[in-house]
Structure 1
Amino acid sequence: MFIEQAYKGNNTWWRVLITTLCTAGIFIGNFIAYFSMSKEQIDEVYKSMSEIPNNLSLIINLSPFVFLLGLLFLMVRNLHHRSILSLTTSRIKIDYKRILFSFSLVVILTIGVFIVTYFNDNSNIIWNFNPSKFAVLFFISLLFFPCQIGLEEYLFRGYLMQQMGIIVKNRWFPLIFTSVVFGLFHSANPEVARMGYGVMVFYIGTGLLLGIMTLMDESLELALGFHLGNNMMAALLITSDYSAIHTDAVFKYSGVENPAAVLNEMIISIAIVYPIILYIFAKRYNWKDWSSKLTGKVLPPN
């Protein structure tokens, strides 16, 4: 079982505390800084960020994740004396086909929804494709996004979910806890500041989806593929002035910000698209015993 993989390592409280603070520090610091600043200061920070060339800004934003993912792996191996495999899956090896399937599913669904939306109403969507800039963006995305989503998945759905699970001895609390914390740590994103905290429903809902994938499949592979596909599509397909990161994507949304419309789209994703994704995974991978896997007890090995 996935959560029980944590029992393979040394889980002394101070080791857990040090690893959590060192690897989640970027999220904690960002969270504290955001809520300690005034609205004027926040607007000034976002304005300064928007003046940096898009591709350079993307590198600056994603570079820390390369170091932090490596640090997490290093601490799990040398401080907790565990393998990275135990942090990834309960199976005997990593199933890369699962990552590829989940990634492909998200890419196909995202492009499909975009095509329908575009032909329904493209009045606020403009062609933004610049071959040279897009080529650089594509290379940066391939290089940095795996580390960015890797840190978030290995930290939230991997390390924290496993450690929390063996502490509280159940599955439902770490599922809810990591989903809420995952959402809260995205509260400093520009779209939250511009469209209100209703957007947090989407982030927490996405965290819940990724957590359910992880517990039902007993591994991180599907969550890794989903998260990577989602973030790469957000960077490559369409951008906007109120996105978390501005990019030289193929298209750009040029319309006036409409928080209500954006929130409605997010709610539709959570209420309709996410259950469809879970249904596809459940059928393909023959998921059973949902109640036990999502809410059951966590017991140490005999």
Structure 2
Amino acid sequence: MFIAQAHRFPHEFWRYLIGSLLVIIASIVGQIPLLIALLMENGIDSFAGDSQQMMASLDPNLLTFLMLFSFAVGFLGLFGALRGLHQQSFKSVTTTRKRVDWKRILFGFSLVAIFTIVVTFIDYQTNPAHYELNFKPIPFLILFVIAVIFVPIQTSLEEYVFRGYLMQGFGLLAKNRWFPLLMTSLIFGGLHFFNPEVGQMGNVIMVYYIGTGLFLGIMTLMDEGMELSLGFHAGNNLIGVLLVTADWTAFQSESILKDISEPTAGADVLFPVLIIYPIFLLIMAKVYGWKNWKEKLFGKINIPETQLEAEN
């Protein structure tokens, strides 16, 4: 099974702690170009001021590229952790199948992409005063190239760290499935606490971030692999970056539309978590024949006896 297969590799929990630290250090190193660009544009004194204002001083496409670049460097940290600390392949932290199922990745991507496009179009038609057309052909084309290359890198790193690497690490530590599902979701959501959206909409939006982590984790455990979550996360972020931007979001991009409405956190935060995500899970369950939900989400991690004997 997805968590249990990591038992074939060195898996003492201290390795996961050091591996996580390697990813963090690599990501911080990857932020150096952004810091240099901000320093050159604003001067060193501006670092004591409003970070959002500093970010806005950069060209949106340059800012998008530099923010996403750190995730590419972060992947080097994850590669070092898997190879150096665990002697583990990316495939074994991706899926239980013989090979990565790209059709599943495409299905997850398409499901959320189509939904996001349709919902955004309906909202734009229903509430046109909430948007202004932001489309500029050349800047958008540059954004498109940057986003298509780097957004999947960003989302894939997050999936590999939380739904892959740490899901397996916490699972082998606790010898069950609910603990890694809960822990990875809380950490995933918690890391979004410093996003500008939280400052604008309040702490209630953490329900959305933690709920999204739970949704992606359930998807991974039920399907015994990360392919659906890889595709879904990439589709969600990529289409979001290309379609709509706002002054109060983490990414101010050269997207097609700009949301100029006053940000509020209410039903629009709870609706995806309580209604849309369960519907998506039911669709995936129907397509891929998911069964035995209780065991897959709350059951124990069963390590083959041959592996236990080899360890002892």
**Structure 2 residue 182 is matched with structure 1 residue 176:** yes
Contact kept? 1:27, 1:185, Cα under 8 Å: no
Q: 1:170 to 1:28 in 2, by over 3 A?
A: farther
Partner of 1:17: 17
Name which of 187, 193, 198 aligns with 2:199.
193
CA separation of 1:89 and 1:173: change in aligned 2, threshold 3 A? same
2:298 aligns to what? 295
For 1:3, give the aligned amino acid.
I
What's the counterpart of residue 8 of structure 1?
Answer: 8
* 1:218 and 2:224 are equivalent in the alignment: yes
- 1:144-201 Cα distance to aligned partner (Å, 9 max, x none): 1111111100000100010100110000011011001100001111111122111111
Q: 1:206 to 1:193 in 2, by over 3 A?
A: same
Separation in 1, partners of 2:48, 2:214: 28
In structure 2, relative to structure 1, the CA distance for the partners of 1:259 and 1:10 (3 Å cut) is same
CA distance in 1, matches of 2:253, 2:57: 12
Does 2:273 align with 1:270?
yes
Query: 3-state DSSP class of the match of 1:243?
Result: coil
Tell me if the contact between 1:15 and 1:79 (Cα under 8 Å) persists in the aligned partners: yes
Please identify the structure whose Cα radius of gyration is greater.
Answer: 2
Paired with 1:83 and 1:245, the residues of 2 have a C-alpha distance of 32
Deviates more, 1:235-244 or 1:113-122: 113-122
Deviation at 1:14, TM superposition (A): 3.5
Letter paired with 2:246: S
Q: Find the counterpart in structure 1 of residue 235 from structure 2.
A: 229
Query: What RMSD over aligned residues (CA atoms) do the two structures have, in Å?
Result: 1.8
The CA deviation at 1:42 is: 8.3
Residue identity in the other structure for 1:109? F
Contact (CA 8 Å) 1:166, 1:299: kept in 2 or not?
Answer: no
In 2: Cα distance, 1:41 partner to 1:181 partner: 27
What's the offset of the Cα at 1:12?
3.0
> Partner of 1:258 in structure 2?
263
The code of the aligned residue for 2:227 comes to E
Q: Size of the alignment, in residue pairs? A: 289
CA offsets per residue over residues 94-131 of structure 1, 9 Å max, x none? 00000001101111000111122122221121111001
CA apart distance, 1:28: 9.6
Matched residue type, 2:242: L
TM-score normalised per structure 2: 0.89
Q: Which fold has the larger relative contact order, with Cα–Cα distance below 8 Å and residues 6 or more apart in sequence?
A: 1
Unaligned runs of 5+ in 1: 30-39
Indicate the residue corresponding to 2:43 in structure 1.
none
Name the residue aligned to 1:70.
76
Secondary structure at the aligned position of 1:123 is classed as helix
- Rounded Cα–Cα distance in structure 1 between residues aligned with 2:188 and 2:22: 16
Tell me, yes or no, if the aligned pair for 1:69 and 1:150 is still in contact at 8 Å.
Answer: no
- Counterpart of 2:253 in structure 1 is 247
Q: TM-score with structure 1 length normalisation?
A: 0.91
